Amino acid sequence: MLRTTLAGLRLHKSRYVTTVLAILLGVMFVSGTMVFADTLEAGYEKTVMGSAASVDAVAVPSEPDSGGSEEPEEALLTTEQLDEVRALPEVAGADGVVNGEAVLLDADGRAFGFVPPVAVSFGEHTRFSAEEGTLPGNGGEIALAASTAEQIGFAVGDRVTVLDREQAKREFTLTGLVEFGTEQDYSFRGAVVFDEDTLREMATVEGYVEIDATAAPGHTDQQVSDAVAAALGSSAEVMTGDEFGVKLAEGTGADTLMLRTVLLLFSFIAMFVAGIVIHNTFAILIAQRQREMALLRCVGAKRSQVFRSVLLESLAVGLLSSALGVLAGVGVGYAGAAFGGPLLGMEGASAVVVSPTAMVLGMSVGTVVTVFSALVPAMRATRVPPLAALRTSATAAGLEKGTGRVRAVFGALCFLASAALVALTRMSGPSETNLVIVTAAALVAFTGVVVLGPLLVRGIVRVLGIPLRRTGVPSMLAVDNSVRSPRRAAAAMIALTVGATLITGYSVVSASIERTLTAQLEEQFPIDYQITPQMFLGEPAAAEPEETSAEDAPEEETASEEEAPPEEEAAAADGTVGAPDVPAVPAEVVRVLREDPLLERVMGQRSAAVESDNGTLWVNTHTSTRFGEDMTADTVEGDISDMGPGKVVLQGASADGFSVGDTFTLPLDDGGELSLEVAAITEEGQMLYGVTLHEDDFARAFPEITSDEYVYVRAVPGADPADVREAVHDAVEDHPTLQVMSVSEVKEQLSSILDIAFYTIAAMLALAIVIAVFGISNTMALSVLERTRESALLRALGLAKGQLRRMLGVEAVLLCLIGAGIGIVFGVVFGWAAGAAVLPGLEFTVPYAQIAVFIALAVLAGLAAAVLPARRAAGTSITGALAGE
């Protein structure tokens, strides 16, 4: 049997070409993901650990004891401790790292980033160094993180402007670029590098966030680490450079693990589709070889031997295909690391990491999926009586059966169960559980398609066949051929249905989310510009009254545009909201905006947090805002137009147990309470969140909060957009830290983010589509092989080669259109259900343009799938085919 199996493989190797390609592509994605992730992780570790290994010991402050307080002060190492480390005999040299914040201005004079970059200083004996140029050596020089310079467009030798702690502009010469690797603070926020004296002058910082030391001759890194630990005691955590590098690399490893998980998810989708193709291929092959297997049974082969023969055949195909897939995966992983690595923060070339796990996983997945997919066809091969098989023709008779009553009932029940699951998700609010239920509903529906596939194919082909039959004999024959073996057609198109469902579903989710968020922005709060201050993560220098600049100490207007009382002016003088570490928009900017005739409305937003028995309550208000006109919201109960003094609007957990007309009691910091009537309860996902007060009530509850953390601007109807933009930017010209963003920019950014995500995911899912098209091509090729005499007879009766190719092309296009069509319908339904399951107030949107592209691609895929089979059929000798058996 072994020799027979191997001989059969050699004899019919052309039948397995597309099967091998399907397995190869799936395994390539699995192995390529592993190689790419391993290489990326190694590159991160090399970058992080390489910098850490340049020093022998690293000391960082121990985590401070909160002592019962919620936010303990950050611990720092002192100058005295640095001197102690330098005096150690085991230490050749040591320097400290100083961290602060600095406002860096771009070429247009606006602050870079929503959060200021880290201002850092370090000496010669630290783990950082200049990648290009030199480090700053005096108060007139500066260095930047390489990523920061690239984003802004600065190069060595340029003049760079930074705001000091009094918000005054200071110019520096850019002398060097520093590569900080993947450390989160520096990579996320960016960094500016000063010499230590300049940094302490620019920002109010004390102490060191890190002390690095190098070993004196004759001492190991562990000896240096132990000596530094003994000198600093419990105030510091001391590690060798290698240990510190490992700790830093663990942080990047978490990001790599997430990327690896996501890519593997797409890999297994591809393998699932490949499994469908493999199963279909073996089902057709074994059905076509019924007479061959019956003859083996007649000459003495047992059922178990035939079964093992088929499994051995699948094992050989799986091993060969998986090996080729692993080799291709190494190439894909290398390409991903070379081109995608720099986009993910991996600098420089890194050796490709091909781990045994990547190879074993690729080989195992490909082989197991192949053998498992062949199990059912193998079992089917053993159930055919030898004499019955010898009496039948060499056609795939086993695949010509239709759909019986039992299958029809079971398929209908699957669709009903799927619909019931989707309906269940609509009975409750959005949650992650509902998303799981929608996924289960989709899987049940797929089961229904598999069961009812032949019936669906027959019905859809009859409908599509009405116009096709009028376009000529080839199309008429193609329609008849499609309904003659609906089970085979259904098995071929189900793989494409899976891919089309996933891509269509995600396109519906993406389009609906974009439409929903845009509508909420336009309808609930129609504005033209949003102004926000740059968010300081540490304590801004402006919090010190004696050093407050004039631009941060304006007089504050109340919502009624009256002059604020002196005590409120004092509260607003530090330019903060509620706490000194939350910046605000200066009142003079608000005043200038309100005085501009081009601007119809200038509204502010203020917020605070209150601790209650039920946890933290987020309380906010909108100044100079007419509820129901300037701001709207979808409500569960009530009308926000009823909002006014003494009333409150609730959302989410804040609204639990309350109805319109109830009394809501807001606890205050002074121990008092504020009783308010519930005016409305809004749906989740609206612009009004938490607890919304009228501005008068908010001023009573939080008298210390007198500045707006957000300012929203709406222009006069008909105003020239260019003039409006100039008016807004003129108002903030003297305040470079304010971030100005137009609503159109917000929409463009949202659209850009969603488009990038969509095209990235679509590109990954496209592999499943490609594998499915290979499956259809394989089905067509096997069908052509089976119908060799039939095709020859048609040629003998006058069908031209071009007409024969057209007939097969129409067959393939029909299969692709049916698979893609069912997938598109499922994608629209389950895309809507998935979106509604997680996003409240979803505005369902069908991306018709994208769906039209999918349909066009399905037609092209069908034509591509038929090219080789049609060429083979047209090139077959008529007399030779008719003479053969």
The encoded tokens of residue 757 equal: 């995500």
Confidence tier at 65 by pLDDT (50, 70, 90) = low
Give the per-residue pLDDT at 413: 92
* Angle between helix 486-519 and helix 743-786 axes, rounded to 10 deg: 180
Percent of the chain beyond pLDDT 70?
Answer: 80
What is the chain's mean pLDDT, rounded? Answer: 79
> Of 14, 532, 34, 512, nearest to 264 (Cα)?
34
- Please calculate the CA angle 68-70-76 and round it to the nearest 5 degrees: 90
672 has a pLDDT exceeding 70: yes
Confidence tier at 22 by pLDDT (50, 70, 90) = confident
In eight-state DSSP terms, residue 106 is -
How much is the average pLDDT of 330-342?
72
Give the per-residue pLDDT at 175: 93
Higher-pLDDT residue of 254 and 715 is 715
DSSP string across 781-840:
HHHHHHTHHHHHHHHHTT--HHHHHHHHHHHHHHHHHHHHHHHHHHHHHHHHHHHHHHST
pTM: 0.66
Q: What is the pLDDT of residues 161-213, one digit of tens each?
A: 998 877 788 999 999 998 876 666 777 788 899 998 898 888 778 889 999 99
- Please calculate the CA angle 393-395-397 and round it to the nearest 5 degrees: 100
Q: What is the pLDDT of residues 754-795, one digit of tens each?
A: 777 777 777 777 777 777 777 777 777 767 766 777 778 877
Higher-pLDDT residue of 333 and 885 is 333
> Of 740, 528, 708, nearest to 620 (Cα)?
708
Compute the distance between CA of residue 358 and CA of residue 375 in angstroms, rounded to an integer: 26
Compute the distance between CA of residue 834 and CA of residue 437 in angstroms, rounded to an integer: 9
How much is the average pLDDT of 515-541?
72
Confidence tier at 384 by pLDDT (50, 70, 90) = low
3-state secondary structure of 183: coil
Report yes or no: 210 and 200 within 8 Å, Cβ to Cβ.
no
Q: Which residues contact 363 (CB under 8 A, 6 or more apart)?
A: 27, 319, 322, 323, 326
Give the per-residue pLDDT at 579: 40
Give the per-residue pLDDT at 645: 93
Give the per-residue pLDDT at 619: 92
Give the per-residue pLDDT at 259: 63
874 has a pLDDT exceeding 70: yes
Higher-pLDDT residue of 580 and 309 is 309
Exposure letters 731-767 (e unless 16+ CB within 10 A, then b): bbeebbbbbbebbeebeeeeeeebeeebeebbebbeb
Q: What is the pLDDT of residues 365-380, one digit of tens each?
A: 888 888 888 887 778 7
Categorise residue 462: left if φ over 0, alpha if ψ from -120 to 50, beta otherwise.
alpha
* Angle between helix 473-484 and helix 432-468 axes, rounded to 10 deg: 130
> Which H or E run contains 865?
helix 848-875
Q: What is the pLDDT of residues 124-156, one digit of tens each?
A: 888 888 888 999 988 899 999 888 888 888 999
Q: CA torsion sign, 622 to 626 to 628 to 632?
A: negative
> 419-433, 706-720, 726-740, 817-831: which has the minimum mean pLDDT?
419-433
Confidence tier at 591 by pLDDT (50, 70, 90) = very high
Q: Which residues contact 543 (CB under 8 A, 6 or more apart)?
A: 574, 576, 580, 581
Compute the distance between CA of residue 597 and CA of residue 404 in angstroms, rounded to an integer: 76
Best mean pLDDT range from 229-243, 475-489, 574-588: 229-243
> 44-53, 717-726, 801-810, 860-869: which has the minimum mean pLDDT?
44-53
Give the per-residue pLDDT at 555: 38
How much is the average pLDDT of 39-58?
71
Diameter of the chain measured on Cα atoms: 108
Q: What is the pLDDT of residues 443-487, one digit of tens each?
A: 898 888 888 888 888 888 888 888 888 888 888 888 887 777 777
How much is the average pLDDT of 336-353?
61
577 has a pLDDT exceeding 90: no
Give the per-residue pLDDT at 778: 72
Report yes or no: 808 and 479 within 8 Å, Cβ to Cβ.
no
90 has a pLDDT exceeding 90: yes
Give the per-residue pLDDT at 9: 59
How much is the average pLDDT of 511-531?
80
Compute the distance between CA of residue 35 and CA of residue 263 in angstroms, rounded to an integer: 11
Type of residue numbered 655: A
